[in-house]
Structure 1
Amino acid sequence: MSYRPTLDDLNAFAAIVTHRSFRKAAGELGLSPSTLSHMMRNMEARMGVRLLHRTTRSVAATEAGEMLLDRLKPVLRDLELALDAVGEFGGQPSGTLRINASEIAARVLLNAAIPLFLERYPEISLDIVTENRLVDIVGEGFDAGIRLRESVPLDMIAVEFGGEARFLAIASPAYLKDHKQPKTPEDLKRHRCIRLRMPSGKLYRWEFEKHGQEVTVEVSGALTLDHVELMAEAAVKGLGIAYVPERIARPYLASGEIISVLDDWCPSIPGLCLYYPGHRHVPQSLRAFISVLTEVERQGA
């Protein structure tokens, strides 16, 4: 094949497939949807292969398109890193920093680290994607991820922040007035519990520990949710016992709307970490973010 797509063509193709939308890709690239559509049709015609399935509502890669994207992603990412490395010989850090995080982690960062970072580095665009699922940050094009320490892959470099974390079993005073307060995790099996469905579809098993004894309980209950903040709100309404991060429960505990139970079975665990692959060049923008994060951590100590 003598024809070779341009870098603009390949960037456009990757954006369209990633967003599954010409409109969203056009917004990212600063082009019109019609321009992108014309670029892709011209690219397909000159390559002699169909790369995209188009409908009136969506767009998706063909088998050939999927193969191209799989091989293209690391190439585009390496090119971005190479340009970033060269840019470090200049002045102020710039570019886009992409971080994948849980919603709770993003809220923690918004308290201090993100405002300070944006003020200090106005040339950097910070793109934070919040998801409950644990993603492959390298494969999906992120510079870093943020999760609880226990969820960080072993081959990643981790930067801890925010102190230790803790999960609490909580219920409203009204619920506990009508139901005997649990004394052990096993007692939860006789209660209405508000369950959490994980992104994989599996139900989260509640984990407790006391004096080195670990207990995992598969709770039952009529209500299942997929968001810990909704679980806390459901507990406030007296719908049962929920098991949520202490950060989520704290304002409700302070107001007296909920009470924590099984406190002695809920120890602290290692908290949040920013993590990134150590075998690749660390972008200047990420180094700047880590510097701000550790500064905020020292000030909060």
Structure 2
Amino acid sequence: MPISTSEPKASDRLVILGYGFCAREFVKRHGDRFNDILATVRDPGAGASNQSGVRFEKLDTGYAPEPALLEAVRHATHVLVSVPPGRDGDPALALLGEEIAAARHLRWIGYLSTTGVYGDHAGAWIDETAPTNPVSARAVRRLEAENGWRALAGPGRVVHVFRLSGIYGPGRNPLLSLLEGSSRALDKPGQVFNRIHVEDVAEAVAAAMTRPEAGPVFNLADDEPAPQPEVLAYAAKLLGLGPPEVVAFDAGQAAMSEMARSFWAENKRVGNRRLVTELGVQLRYPTYREGLRALLPTVRG
């Protein structure tokens, strides 16, 4: 079956494995492309059903997939995966990998991964050709999951991997962190981070669905990696607050979670040229400044 290069058809069916922040934004913006959407959650009764047009089924380690989920996979034309791997690997791949591999109508699989798979590059610019050298166990599992999903590619079917930088958007951003008092500016000389607005993630996924010849890996990152204190200072200025106190990194890391420590242990500038040249995506929020300015009304009510 040849791969279609056209826009998704009204008869297309989407299965979303893991109905998280990015998946919800994609459905909000592009859900009307599909005749049917089924998304998996851990608890279908916990409020996920507030997005009309989406059916929900349980997917959790230790539970066999429900018949309705298996049926949806069998008829799916597109599968979007945003389930994070656990200590035992990718649960969606373990529970549904065989069914997805056998799905006759499936043309496209998208996997939402992380730029953490590149590891530390001492602040250098990298692109999708950079070697992967994950440092944390979490990033190692991400790379293993990437490889597992990419192994499902074949004639008539493409797999695209999206390596995301730090995601922000409505309900999850430095403006809210400052207002809630949950953000500290940490001074680690030379340290920078890329970010990506959730709307730009959704647009990149939508573009990839129509370009099977592109990829197979895309960095989803903004144009300007920046130090965390700089971003927080800009957010504070937008809010009319004084600049946040800057704390030396060595003093601040004691209170960090294991995940946060792994995040700060890696320093790289992530290039997004393939996103622009192969997918034709022009970022709506090319730096944190545009993104935070657009989010300001959402935190002021």
TM-score of the pair, normalised by structure 2: 0.27
Q: When you count helix as a share of all residues, which structure comes out higher?
A: 1
TM-score of the pair, normalised by structure 1: 0.27
